[in-house]
A = this chain, B = another copy of it.
Amino acid sequence: MKPCDAPTMKDVAREAGVSLGTVSKVINGIPVGEQYRKRVEAATEKLGYQVNNYARGLKTNKTYCVALVMPSLHHPFFAVLVNELSEYLMQQGYRSLLMITNYDSLVEKKCFSLAQQNKIDGIIALTYSPDLDVDESISVVTIDRHISNHPCVSSDNFHGGELAAEKLMELGCKKLLFLHIGNVIVGEAEKRGPGFENACRTAGADYHSIWLTDQDTEAPFFRFLEEHIHNGKLEYDGIFCNSDGLGVRVCEFLKARGIRIPEDVQIIGYDGIVDYATGRYGCSTIVQPIAEMAQTAVNLLLNQQGTLAPRNTSLAVHYAPGGTTRD
């Protein structure tokens, strides 16, 4: 149908036998008499009238559009997260404005500014800047990393860390190692390590942690591992890595030095990333519930009212074997 043939609100009013104001009220969700509402709805359906969302955006201050501010789709965790967010938003009648920041805090600021210029209804963001300015009229929900006091949705990172330690101990590991690399900005994902350490302490287990927070290179991990291999044997027999990517790389490094995985050393990662070609996990892992995280973020955003929303919403994780543990 060409735009010039499209029915207008006037056509709907004529068909329904009501005033233009009544049609406008029904479209904008303002209460009118039940009988008027039904007539307008019937006329809308009969004529195939479609609301002009731009005009609607101006009138009701609602644009049915949510900005997704995300670092990159090269990483499968973000790609799947955006997929689930966008699909669920569409099911709720909302559009997704995708903004890729490439992990750049200047771009993050630009995206937040653009999103607000575009009068969107809300922002769902995974950013590395804790101090982004947001207009009070715009709802914001973050994933994994906080922005001032906006609600944040994540997997239960602390319990995920506990689960990894408990699983390694259950599978016979006696000397545990935790490897963490990440941004200096502390977010929910930084609770994986404390959870792991807590479970080790509780069980009286022998463990060591290495935190790399101020650099981009994982080289110190590999130097540490190299220094702790004696006579072809690593001093540690259970390793928890704060991502599956790191888990896969540590596994490859040790295998290349003749250390058998999982016979000599068992490794657990975090994320639950599935290979697109084989459908398998790259290593044993703590699985984040990505679809549930996306739905929770959208629900929180669309139902946000004042300060009632919880600051943190952590969703249950589970452990899955992926070939780097003896199960």
Interface of A toward B, CB cutoff 8 Å: 1-3, 50-55, 57-58, 63, 65, 68, 72-76, 79-80, 82-83, 86-87, 90, 95-100, 102, 114, 117-119, 135-137, 244-245, 248-249, 252, 273, 275-278, 282
Contacts and interface: CB of A to CB of B under 8 A. Distances in A.
Best-surrounded residue of A2, A86, A135 (most CB of chain B within 10 A): A86
Given A75-B276, A117-B50, A278-B252, A90 B99 contact: yes
A85 to B, nearest CB: 9
A118 B53 contact: yes
Contacts of A90: 99-100, 114
A102 B87 contact: yes
Contacts of A135: 1-3
Given A53-B119, A72-B83, A76-B76, A245 B97 contact: no
Given A65-B97, A248-B277, 10 more contacts: A1-B135, A2-B135, A51-B117, A54-B118, A73-B86, A74-B76, A75-B276, A86-B100, A90-B100, A245-B277
A278 B79 contact: no
Nearest to A283: B277
Instruction: Give 5 closest A-B pairs by Cβ, nearest first.
Output: A79-B79, A73-B83, A248-B277, A245-B277, A98-B98
A250 to B, nearest CB: 10
14 contacts: A2-B137, A52-B119, A54-B57, A73-B80, A74-B80, A74-B83, A76-B79, A86-B99, A87-B100, A90-B99, A95-B118, A97-B97, A275-B275, A277-B282
A97 B100 contact: no
B98 A248 contact: no
Nearest to A63: B54
Contacts of A65: 97
Nearest to A71: B83
Nearest to A136: B2
A245 B65 CA distance: 35
B79 A74 contact: yes
Contacts of A96: 97-99
Contacts of A118: 53-54, 95
Contact of A95 (B75, B97, B248, B249): B97
A105 to B, nearest CB: 16
